[in-house]
């Protein structure tokens, strides 16, 4: 089994234990972990937004909640002031919103697919505004449909943005045709101006949001490998630390380092070293599950966060990563190996990143000192010192 066989007596025949998988894929667990996917769709990336996109959507929704309520309050005040002229019944849809929006927030927080729930809530808000405008009998009020457009591009991916814009266009045409078509025909600016405002808002907000996403991506994505970087890691660590207080599930860390990488740079140049890094990153990413998070934290060093993984589970995954690198050609026909250290929090205890990282780092040094191309572990105090043939530091 090569130079690394001493770190694992059973090689690639390891399988992650089924209770761990079942627990990890429970919707409630996924919800608390921040992935929030149906168990049947966990590995179908095309049906579910990336972890980065989903966290951005959820984070933006929580930031917008108080602002959205304030905006609805402003509309309510406006309709109250205008009630002597347009009628009190126009407050009906806003009262409906006051009841449904808090319910929608609770459903989103508990949903196994918050991306869908968020979009349904957004569409409901747009329809409530359209209903309020329709009851006024004044088509020029359709300009209020521009307000949710501002948040559309900020929260959703392009496909849902297109659907939202299509819904808004349909609601706008419904107001134009259904409220007072004769007035619109006789005075077209009543809808030309609101229509232009809606379109301009969509164009501007989409452009600004794309720019913001690009800037954020540049801050959290390693340009060479396309992996998340240390900035993204620190953000995610804060999140899963909070989640661990709720889920009580263990969290594993695998710390890996390419062996003798400096020799490649010194012998063949940095461009060859860059090619090796890109290929190794690809190999590691291929071996990981959708729920696992891979980071390049500097030079030739990589870190994997494994939500829900025990020390044993994380060690099995680390060995699979080691074997994948050892058995593959990378760069321009180079063969490299990796040393990996593993640590994990214990089930039922909150995750402490600094403590678990220190154990993984200690294990990595032990792997290197033992001859490299190996996996080593450092158990938590009170945890079994040996797992299925894997050696401890």
**281-298: pLDDT as tens digits:** 999 999 987 678 899 998
pLDDT above 50 for 256: yes
CA dist 251 and 24 (Å) reads 11
Q: Which two tokens stand for residue 334?
A: 């180079």
pLDDT above 60 for 243: yes
Q: Return the closest-CA partner of residue 164 out of 195, 122, 219.
A: 122
Quickly count: other Cβ atoms within 10 Å of residue 164's Cβ: 22
Q: Residues of the chain with pLDDT > 70: what percent?
A: 71
Q: Residues of the chain with pLDDT > 90: what percent?
A: 27
CA dihedral 297→35→311→360, nearest 10 degrees, is 10
Calculate the average pLDDT of the chain: 77
pLDDT category at 340 given cuts 50, 70, 90 is: very high
What's the confidence (pLDDT) of residue 14? 36
Ramachandran quadrant class, 260 (left: phi over 0; alpha: psi -120 to 50; beta: rest): left
**Mean pLDDT, rounded, for 154-167:** 83
Q: Side-chain half-sphere of 316: how many Cα atoms within 13 Å?
A: 16
Burial of 74 (0-12, 13-18, 19+ CB in 10 A): exposed
**Mean pLDDT, rounded, for 221-244:** 86
The edge-to-edge listing of strands for the beta sheet with 293-298 is: 293-298, 301-307, 251-258, 338-344, 375-377
Of residues 304 and 110, more confidently modeled: 304
Residues contacting residue 16 through CB under 8 Å, at least 6 positions apart: 313, 316, 317
Ramachandran quadrant class, 337 (left: phi over 0; alpha: psi -120 to 50; beta: rest): beta
Specify which residues 256 forms β-bridges with: 302, 340
3 state SS of 252: strand
Q: What angle do CA 347, 348, 352 make, to 5 degrees?
A: 80
> With contact defined as beta carbons under 8 Å apart, do 107 and 117 qualify?
yes
Of residues 111 and 318, more confidently modeled: 318
**Mean pLDDT, rounded, for 155-173:** 86
**Mean pLDDT, rounded, for 330-344:** 94
Q: Which two tokens stand for residue 288?
A: 């990981």
What's the confidence (pLDDT) of residue 6? 36
**Mean pLDDT, rounded, for 175-187:** 80
**Mean pLDDT, rounded, for 229-254:** 89
Tell me the CA end-to-end span of the chain in Å, nearest whole number. 21
Of residues 98 and 227, more confidently modeled: 227
**Mean pLDDT, rounded, for 263-271:** 90
Kindly give the interhelix angle for 270-287 and 311-326, rounded to the nearest 10 degrees.
Answer: 130
Phi and psi, residue 207, nearest 5°: -65, -45
Q: Which two tokens stand for residue 5?
A: 């066989």
Rounded to a whole number of angstroms, the CA Rg of the chain reads: 27
Could you report the per-residue pLDDT of 104-136, keeping only the tens digit for each?
667 666 666 667 778 888 888 888 888 878 877
CA dist 325 and 323 (Å) reads 5
What's the confidence (pLDDT) of residue 42? 34
What's the confidence (pLDDT) of residue 28? 42
What's the confidence (pLDDT) of residue 393? 60
Q: Which two tokens stand for residue 102?
A: 């808090």
Residues contacting residue 258 through CB under 8 Å, at least 6 positions apart: 276, 277, 280, 300, 325, 336, 337, 338
Q: Which domains are seen in the chain, by residue range?
A: 5-32+227-377 (3.30.70.270), 51-220 (no CATH)
Of residues 151 and 364, more confidently modeled: 364
What's the confidence (pLDDT) of residue 382? 66
pLDDT category at 361 given cuts 50, 70, 90 is: very high
Model pTM above 0.75: no
What distance lies between CA 9 and its chain's CA centroid?
36
Q: Return the closest-CA partner of residue 314 out of 301, 305, 322.
A: 305
CA dist 147 and 170 (Å) reads 16
Q: Return the closest-CA partner of residue 127 out of 104, 145, 111, 139.
A: 145
State which H helix or E strand residue 82 sits in. Answer: helix 51-86
Q: What angle do CA 167, 170, 171 make, to 5 degrees?
A: 85
Could you report the per-residue pLDDT of 26-73, keeping only the tens digit for each?
444 434 433 333 333 333 333 445 555 565 666 666 677 777 778 778
């Amino acid at each position: 089994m090569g130079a690394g066989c001493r770190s694992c007596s059973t090689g690639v025949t390891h399988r992650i234990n089924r209770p761990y998988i079942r627990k990890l894929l429970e919707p409630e667990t996924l919800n608390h972990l921040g992935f929030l996917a149906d168990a049947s769709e966990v590995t179908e990336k095309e049906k579910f937004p990336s972890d980065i996109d989903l966290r951005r959507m959820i984070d933006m929704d929580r930031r917008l909640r108080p602002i959205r309520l304030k905006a609805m309050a402003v509309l309510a005040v406006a309709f109250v002031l205008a009630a002597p002229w347009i009628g009190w019944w126009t407050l009906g849809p806003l009262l409906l919103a006051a009841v449904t929006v808090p319910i929608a927030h609770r459903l989103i927080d508990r949903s196994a697919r918050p991306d869908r729930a968020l979009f349904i809530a957004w569409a409901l808000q747009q329809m409530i505004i359209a209903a309020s405008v329709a009851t006024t009998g004044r088509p020029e009020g359709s300009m209020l449909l521009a307000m949710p457009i501002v948040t559309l591009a900020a929260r959703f991916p392009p496909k849902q943005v297109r659907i939202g814009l299509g819904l808004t266009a349909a609601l706008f045409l419904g107001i134009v045709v259904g409220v007072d078509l004769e007035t619109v025909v006789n005075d077209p600016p009543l809808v030309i101006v609101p229509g232009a405002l809606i379109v301009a808002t969509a164009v501007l907000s989409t452009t600004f949001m794309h720019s913001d996403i690009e800037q954020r991506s540049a801050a959290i994505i390693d340009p060479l490998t396309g992996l998340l970087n240390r900035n993204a890691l620190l953000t995610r660590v804060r999140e899963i630390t909070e989640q661990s207080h709720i889920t009580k599930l263990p969290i594993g860390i695998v710390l890996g380092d390419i062996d003798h990488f400096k020799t490649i740079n010194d012998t063949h140049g940095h461009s060859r070293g860059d090619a090796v890094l890109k290929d190794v990153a690809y190999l590691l990413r291929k071996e990981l599950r959708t729920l696992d998070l891979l980071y390049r934290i500097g030079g030739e060093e990589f870190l994997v966060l494994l939500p829900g993984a025990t020390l044993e589970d994380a060690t099995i995954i680390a060995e699979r990563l080691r074997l994948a690198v050892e058995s593959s050609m990378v760069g321009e026909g180079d063969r490299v190996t990796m040393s990996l250290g593993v640590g994990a929090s214990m089930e039922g205890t909150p995750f402490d990143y600094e403590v678990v990282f220190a154990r993984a780092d200690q294990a990595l040094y032990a792997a290197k000192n033992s001859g490299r191309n190996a996996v080593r572990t450092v158990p938590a105090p009170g945890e079994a010192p040996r797992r299925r043939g894997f050696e401890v530091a």
